[in-house]
């Protein structure tokens, strides 16, 4: 119990610091901080941390691996949170993810759209999905498979994917997501993402979500119009090694 009390204090302090960063960045951008949803990425941390964060007022939880997400969602059945799946998703894991996720941020190919739609139908759910955009510099081979290992569709593929999602019955097109590449200035990457987001919104007015920004670059993301920040280590501390 004492350990939980200590952890609660630590998480409360970290959460307050992150919220303050979001307030400052929003003010600097002339935005209302209430437009920005904080998704706490709890990968590699226990369900007890999720419970503490929810207790402290966090409403949105992100996970990047199907097995871990499934286990935590089971353990926390009945706890009112929105689950976000933010990691690269194998098609064969689509079924499990469609059962637990309210939002999937990492949809980057039509096969995955088809698999998620079918799985959502079978689960009797409607899942909001974002198109993950790769902001890596184009590779010489121009093959999507060689565009780094973070996943994501090339900007040129995004409109087609958005169309495919909008045409499904059980998925809802939420918008776009990106991870800033390591070798690109975050402000530049997020400005590019904002352009892609505006294009998609032109065709699909409901696709208002822009998921961008992590612990290190959330200010740049807020400045570029992000509606969802995926924050892990700034909230939870250094991640233990993944098993
Ligand atoms: C782990 C992860 C995050 C959080 O990263 P931090 O740097 O710890 O804030 C955000 N997005 C994705 C896709 C992740 O896998």
Q: Which tens digit of pLDDT belongs to each residue from 107-130?
A: 999 999 999 999 999 999 999 999
Mean pLDDT of the chain: 94
pTM for the whole thing? Answer: 0.95
- Which is it for the CA torsion 148, 208, 157, 96, positive or negative? positive
> At 151, is the pLDDT very low, low, confident or very high (cuts 50, 70, 90)?
confident
For residue 150, the model assigns a pLDDT of 76
Q: Which ligand 1 atom sits nearest the alpha carbon of residue 41?
A: 4
> At 138, is the pLDDT very low, low, confident or very high (cuts 50, 70, 90)?
low
Query: Closest by alpha carbon to 75, among 56, 47, 41, 43?
Result: 47
- Decide whether any atom of ligand 1 lies within 6 Å of the 64 Cβ: yes
For residue 137, the model assigns a pLDDT of 72
- Which is it for the CA torsion 144, 88, 113, 95, positive or negative? positive
For residue 68, the model assigns a pLDDT of 98
- Decide whether any atom of ligand 1 lies within 6 Å of the 41 Cβ: yes
- Decide whether any atom of ligand 1 lies within 6 Å of the 231 Cβ: yes
Q: Which ligand 1 atom sits nearest the alpha carbon of residue 233?
A: 8
For residue 147, the model assigns a pLDDT of 43
- Decide whether any atom of ligand 1 lies within 6 Å of the 232 Cβ: yes
> At 178, is the pLDDT very low, low, confident or very high (cuts 50, 70, 90)?
very high
Separate counts of helices (H) and strands (E) for the chain: 9, 8
Residue of 69, 86, 189 to test ligand 1 pocket, by largest number of atoms within 8 Å of CB: 86
Mean pLDDT of 31-37: 97
Contact 53, 72 (CB under 8 A): no
């Amino acid at each position: 119990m004492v350990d939980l009390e200590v952890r609660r204090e630590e998480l409360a302090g970290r959460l307050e610091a992150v919220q303050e960063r979001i307030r400052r960045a929003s003010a600097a951008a002339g935005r209302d901080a209430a437009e920005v949803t904080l998704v706490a990425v709890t990968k590699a941390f226990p369900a007890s941390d999720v419970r503490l964060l929810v207790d402290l007022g966090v409403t949105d939880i992100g996970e990047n691996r199907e097995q871990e997400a499934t286990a935590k969602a089971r353990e926390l059945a009945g706890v009112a949170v929105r689950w976000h799946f933010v990691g690269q998703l194998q098609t064969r894991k689509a079924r499990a993810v469609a059962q637990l996720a309210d939002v999937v941020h990492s949809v980057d190919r039509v096969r995955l759209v088809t698999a998620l739609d079918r799985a959502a139908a079978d689960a009797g759910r409607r899942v909001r999905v974002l198109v993950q955009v790769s902001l890596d510099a184009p590779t010489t081979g121009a093959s999507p498979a060689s565009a780094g290992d973070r996943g994501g569709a090339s900007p040129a593929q995004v409109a087609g994917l958005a169309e495919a999602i909008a045409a499904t019955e059980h998925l809802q097109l939420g918008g776009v997501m990106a991870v800033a590449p390591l070798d690109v200035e975050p402000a530049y990457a997020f400005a590019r993402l904002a352009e892609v987001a505006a294009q998609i919104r032109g065709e699909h007015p409901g696709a208002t979500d822009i998921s961008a920004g992590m612990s290190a670059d959330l200010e740049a993301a807020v400045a570029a119009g992000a509606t969802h920040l995926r924050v892990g280590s700034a909230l939870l501390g250094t991640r233990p090694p993944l098993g």
